[in-house]
Structure 1
Amino acid sequence: MEASHAGDPGLFGPSSVAWQMHGDPMMWVAGIRALYLQALHPRVVRGVLQNSDFRRDAWGRLMRTADFVGTTTYGSTEAAERAGARVRKIHSMLAAKDPGTGERYGVDEPDLLLWVHCAEIDSYLHVLRRSGVPLTDAQADRYIAEHRVTARLVGLDPGGVPGDRAGLAAYFEKVRPELTAGPEAREVDDFLQSPPIHPLLIPARALLWRRVAHLAYAALPPYAHELYGRPGPPPATVTRRLRCTGTLLRCVPARLRWQLPPKHIIRAMSRLGPGSRPAPYKLGA
């Protein structure tokens, strides 16, 4: 399918910061941090839990988010626009109910979409930079600005979306009074600490998953730790663990990692040529 779009750089293209960053394996840790952060907005997490069986499908939700990020970053323009249209259509059909007031509201309310967007972008940027991806402040600002494109895809007005680190920080400061670790957030927290799995995989859960989930939780901002009521390790310890984990994961050859489905990066390189290969060192080029 991508062959018919040969030469199409998509919405971002190889010269973007997102193109170089989103192939990094620490994006998985960042995705779990984003889930932790998103769950602190009661109206957002209520919409998730009331419209899906989160405990059974949390892995599927992570995979769908990863597929959306991969498609919008590395796919053709048509594929990215199609992915955005699919998300908007699904959201337009879903609603949630506030158990306290009885109010019903759409999950596609702009305020809710904006929280999900900002929590994701902040998490990707925070985890990758802190784990060792060489990104200047100017490049970080550019990364945030680039993602106004994905904000448009999910139904937001790009002009109302933070476009740099200062704007993102101001947004979080403004929203913080609305955040709380209510029962729904606790449910997400419980799941992420100990997801239900086949008995034969319990040792792997203890060895691998919990370490990743704990690292993602540790990377949250201090106010999130306060709301969840579970303090994080000292910042220097968290940074050291993120760097060690990033170094370890980046030892796995990229070509091997990119062979895993759905192969967004491999297909992008087939469409645009080997020179489009993502690599953080290209950010300084």
Structure 2
Amino acid sequence: MARRNTPTPWEDYGFFGPDSVAWKVWGYPTAPVTGLQRAVVVEELDPPLIAAVDATGDNYNRPRTRYDRTIRYFAMVAFADSRTVSKAADVLVKVHSKAIGVEPLSGKTYDANDPHSQLWILLTGWHSVLKAYETYGPGKLSEEEENRYWEECAIAAELQTCDPADVPRTRDGVRAYFERMRPHLAASEAAQNMMHHLLNAQVILPSAHWSLRPALWAIAKVIRAGTIATMPHWMRRLGGLRQSRLTDVLVRPLLRLSYGVLHRVRTLKLAVLRAISPSTVPIVEPMWRGIAPANPVVLTPTEARERYGYDEPRRAHLALRARQRERVFGHGESPSDEGLVESQQVLGSLA
């Protein structure tokens, strides 16, 4: 009989598995903290994305829930089985179908399912997690490992509406992508406010006894400094983020030591993850505990879609997406919440 605290094994290894570089990088404790904090902060520099995020107000109204669902989704892509991830990718298209509107700076329409927006989200996520791993974890990957990492990123792209062919496969290619994006990025007042808000790690932590609040405040300050230290200076200037070079230098050994301890002490690592993203714990715990799936195989997203009957994300739910566009752009109404209720079973509660 299985022990009560033994996590339920996955059906299979999903799309990567224990031999992948994705497991090595995304499985390190830098990923859910500095890595994804950096990702959601940098994302706000894209005008269509901040317009969609600012319109909902969710990052202000329920930051803990929003962050929990974000971490859970990325963790599912890396570690969950093929059935679970395929369902998550499908329902995410429905959720994003309501994130449409008019971007106030340019007056152009935006759509969260737009392939260019999805590529930006994908690459800022995978790049930020790698950057955090290199800076505060074991260090840089070998050239071969990094090329494999970006090949695996292209596999993850098959779970979004972007084209996997657009994913760079090398460090230089990723650097060139961000240089191409740079002229299109901007930091409005809304973007800068959101970036500062998301850099406050206290907004994603549960309430604590008053005696612990000074310690949590200090931890949040260190995490904020560590995240800013991984950002190039041009991004900091756009976001209005000021931090001295001395702080950049001092925070590195402190976070390297802290993450190193977390990596070695599994119970502590799980406790930290449970504090910042409780719904993600059952996603990663089988991997952290070395529990093999029922069927230890790795599938491709195409194989999984054929097996479970899902459409390719860029072609999924076209009728729903058309209805949402008609509501918003044709009738001036708010988009429906179709997909959000369903998403709670897969991505976590909205409450």
Query: Which secondary structure does the structure 2 equivalent of 1:270 belong to?
Result: coil
Range that drifts further, 132-141 or 180-189: 132-141
Aligned residues of 1:75 and 1:264 also touching (Cα < 8 A): yes
Are 1:209 and 2:220 counterparts? Answer: yes
Q: Of 291, 295, 308, which aligns to 1:270?
A: 291
Query: Which secondary structure does the structure 1 equivalent of 2:291 belong to?
Result: helix
Aligned residues of 1:192 and 1:213 also touching (Cα < 8 A): no
Query: Which secondary structure does the structure 2 equivalent of 1:11 belong to?
Result: coil
- 1:282 matched to which residue of 2? none
Q: Which runs of 5+ in 1 are unaligned?
A: 277-285
- 1:143 matched to which residue of 2? 149
Give me the whole-angstrom Cα distance separating, in 1, the residues matched to 2:178 and 2:89: 25
- 2:77 matched to which residue of 1? 72
Q: Of 20, 27, 37, which aligns to 1:23?
A: 27
- 2:310 matched to which residue of 1? none
Aligned residues of 1:32 and 1:216 also touching (Cα < 8 A): yes
Q: Of 175, 179, 188, which aligns to 1:173?
A: 179
- 1:257 matched to which residue of 2? 269
Amino acid at match of 1:257: K
Q: CA deviation at 1:198?
A: 5.8
Are 1:106 and 2:111 counterparts? Answer: yes
Give me the whole-angstrom Cα distance separating, in 2, the residues matched to 1:4 and 1:241: 35
Query: Which secondary structure does the structure 2 equivalent of 1:153 belong to?
Result: coil
Q: CA deviation at 1:192?
A: 3.0
- 2:43 matched to which residue of 1? 38
- 1:60 matched to which residue of 2? 65
Q: Which runs of 5+ in 2 are unaligned?
A: 1-6, 298-351
Normalized against structure 1, the TM-score is what?
0.84
Give me the whole-angstrom Cα distance separating, in 2, the residues matched to 1:202 and 1:181: 31
- 1:280 matched to which residue of 2? none
Query: Which secondary structure does the structure 2 equivalent of 1:180 belong to?
Result: coil
Normalized against structure 2, the TM-score is what?
0.70
Q: CA deviation at 1:230?
A: 3.2
Amino acid at match of 2:186: T
Give me the whole-angstrom Cα distance separating, in 2, the residues matched to 1:4 and 1:123: 27
Q: Aligned pair in 2 of structure 1 residues 266, 243: CA closer, same or farther (>3 Å)?
A: closer
Q: CA deviation at 1:175?
A: 0.5
Residues 37-78 of structure 1: per-residue CA shift (max 9 Å, x gap): 111111111111213421122222221121112211111111
Q: Aligned pair in 2 of structure 1 residues 107, 4: CA closer, same or farther (>3 Å)?
A: closer
Range that drifts further, 256-265 or 190-199: 190-199
Range that drifts further, 151-160 or 51-60: 51-60
Residues 168-194 of structure 1: per-residue CA shift (max 9 Å, x gap): 111001010111221121221331355
Aligned residues of 1:26 and 1:249 also touching (Cα < 8 A): no
Aligned residues of 1:40 and 1:180 also touching (Cα < 8 A): yes
Give me the whole-angstrom Cα distance separating, in 2, the residues matched to 1:160 and 1:39: 21
Residues 229-283 of structure 1: per-residue CA shift (max 9 Å, x gap): 33433354454344233234335x125534744322333543438x99xxxxxxx
Give me the whole-angstrom Cα distance separating, in 2, the residues matched to 1:250 and 1:101: 45
- 1:152 matched to which residue of 2? 158
Q: Aligned pair in 2 of structure 1 residues 193, 13: CA closer, same or farther (>3 Å)?
A: closer
Q: How large is the Cα RMSD of the aligned pairs?
A: 2.7
- 2:233 matched to which residue of 1? 222
Q: In terms of Rg, which structure is larger?
A: 2
Aligned residues of 1:96 and 1:107 also touching (Cα < 8 A): no
Give me the whole-angstrom Cα distance separating, in 2, the residues matched to 1:14 and 1:193: 31
- 1:247 matched to which residue of 2? 260
Aligned residues of 1:222 and 1:232 also touching (Cα < 8 A): no
Give me the whole-angstrom Cα distance separating, in 2, the residues matched to 1:66 and 1:174: 27
Aligned residues of 2:96 and 2:112 also touching (Cα < 8 A): yes
Residues 92-137 of structure 1: per-residue CA shift (max 9 Å, x gap): 2321322245433212111111111111111101110111324212
Matched residue count: 272
Range that drifts further, 226-235 or 178-187: 226-235
Amino acid at match of 1:110: P
- 1:50 matched to which residue of 2? 55
Give me the whole-angstrom Cα distance separating, in 2, the residues matched to 1:265 and 1:230: 32
